[in-house]
Structure formats: C-alpha cells, structure tokens
Amino acid sequence: MGRLVILFVISFSIHAEEITGVARIIDGDSIRIDDVEIRLHGIDAVEWNQYCRRESFDWACGEAATKAMKQLVGSENIRCTWTERDRYERALASCYKDGADIASLMVDSGMALAYRRYAETYVPNEENAKATKKGVWNTEFVTPWDWRRGIRLAGQDFPGSDCPVKGNVNRKGERIYHIKGWPGHAKVRLKEAEGDSCFQTKIDAELAGFRPPKR
C-alpha cells in the first residue's frame, strides 16, 4: 500500500520598516529621524573623536566624516528602510536621498569603510576609494573597529587615567570593563599585551566582548 505524502510549503515574509524625514546627524554612519536611531548597514565610518595621521600631522578625520555625512544628507528628507535592529535597538538601515545610496557615497568619499564583517555590498566602493586615495586612504589610520578596541596610532595612546572606559582581562580570562568614576576604574592599569583595551563608551566595550563588573 502506497503512502500518501503531503508537503506543506510555509512562506515566511520579512516585514520591512520605513521612515522618511529630515535626519539629525550623530556621526559618519549614524543618524536619527524623529525617535528612530539609525545605523547605516554595511559600512563603518571613523569614529567622531578619532584622529588619522597625514604627513606627520594628526587630522580630526572623525569630525571630517561627520561633516561629510552632514553635507550628503543636508536638510532635505531622506528615506530609510530596514528589516532588523541591532542589540542597542538601532535600525540597521539603507538610506537614500533622491535615490542615491548614502552609505555608498560615504564609502566613495573615503570617509567610511565597507563593514565586511556584516556585508560586502560596498567592497568595490572601498577598493576604488583606496586606489584613488580618497579621504582616510590618503592617511595613516586605524580601522574604526580596531579603534573602538583601544588600538591607537603611535603617540595617540590614552594615559590610563584619561581612559573613559577601561577593558581589563583578569587572571581568569574574564573581560570586564570599568567606567571612569566607578571604584574599580582607578585600580586598573591597562596592559595591552594581556588583552586590556581603552574604550570611548561602554557600548564599544560590550561590542568587543567586555561586561560590567558584578555588583
């Protein structure tokens, strides 16, 4: 006796969200429209307080990236669409002005890099910017993801007391961060060889795998 096989086909659709409006610029890859904080998907811009080095002089490339974003976006409406948010509830979005992909233009200008860890969409744009020495590609710089881990160009290191968030790897291998003003912050002496790092914010520390101390 033959068996009757019934196939069930289940269709899943991912609901895309969209917002249109005038953006407030946070930095070179982050904006806010109304109450929605948006992280441009697939790119990573130099951090707003990051410095690059050009012909032996330190250049505020992070501020330049933020200005570049402001010039691209202007005061006109832009449209952003997304299907997911990150762990900090930021919309991971693609944003457009007059049909132009803003993330693509930032990478074209050399003020943002393709964030290959999450997408390779903008790798060709990055390779072209690098070949033509646009933006940071005409400088000595630390990639933004390494900069958030506390890596600096020579001479740009933070003295331990000036480090806003100290990431310490203890004897058990636990990765714990201490924010300036917390009791443990002053006690930690950063040892880069042991995996310690200096971060600008606790979000940066958490993205690098550090956690706050247990209370």
| Residues 77 and 35 placed together within one structural domain of the fold | yes
pLDDT at residue 159, as a whole number: 54
pLDDT band at residue 9, thresholds of 50, 70 and 90? very low
d(CA 118, CA 121): 9
Structure tokens at 103: 């993330």
Residue where the block lists tokens 């990051």: 50
Q: Which segment of 2-16, 75-89, 107-121 scores lowest on mean pLDDT?
A: 2-16
Q: Which domain holds residue 194?
A: 148-207
| Residues 47 and 128 placed together within one structural domain of the fold | yes
157 in any annotated domain: yes
| Residues 125 and 100 placed together within one structural domain of the fold | yes
End residue of a domain, out of 144, 177, 197: 144
| Residues 101 and 139 placed together within one structural domain of the fold | yes
| Residues 97 and 155 placed together within one structural domain of the fold | no
End residue of a domain, out of 144, 166, 198: 144
d(CA 62, CA 36): 23
pLDDT at residue 14, as a whole number: 67
Domain count, the chain: 2
| Distances 41 to 35, 74, 189 between C-alpha atoms, Å | 18, 20, 35
Residue where the block lists tokens 């953006």: 23
Residue where the block lists tokens 């060889």: 193
Buried b (16+ CB within 10 A) or exposed e, 15-48: eeeebeeebebbbbbbbebeebbbbbbbbbbbbb
| Residues 160 and 202 placed together within one structural domain of the fold | yes
Encode pLDDT of 15-72 as tens digits: 889 999 999 999 999 999 999 999 999 999 998 878 999 888 889 999 999 999 999 9
pLDDT at 12 over 50: no
pLDDT at 158 over 70: no
Burial class (CB in 10 A: 0-12, 13-18, 19+), 166: buried
pLDDT at residue 57, as a whole number: 85
Average pLDDT over residues 81-95: 92
Q: Which residue has the higher pLDDT, 139 or 198?
A: 139
End residue of a domain, out of 144, 177, 198: 144
Encode pLDDT of 97-151 as tens digits: 999 999 999 999 999 999 999 999 999 999 999 999 999 999 999 999 988 877 8
d(CA 88, CA 117): 18
Residue 37 three-state SS: strand
Q: Can you give the length of the chain in residues?
A: 215
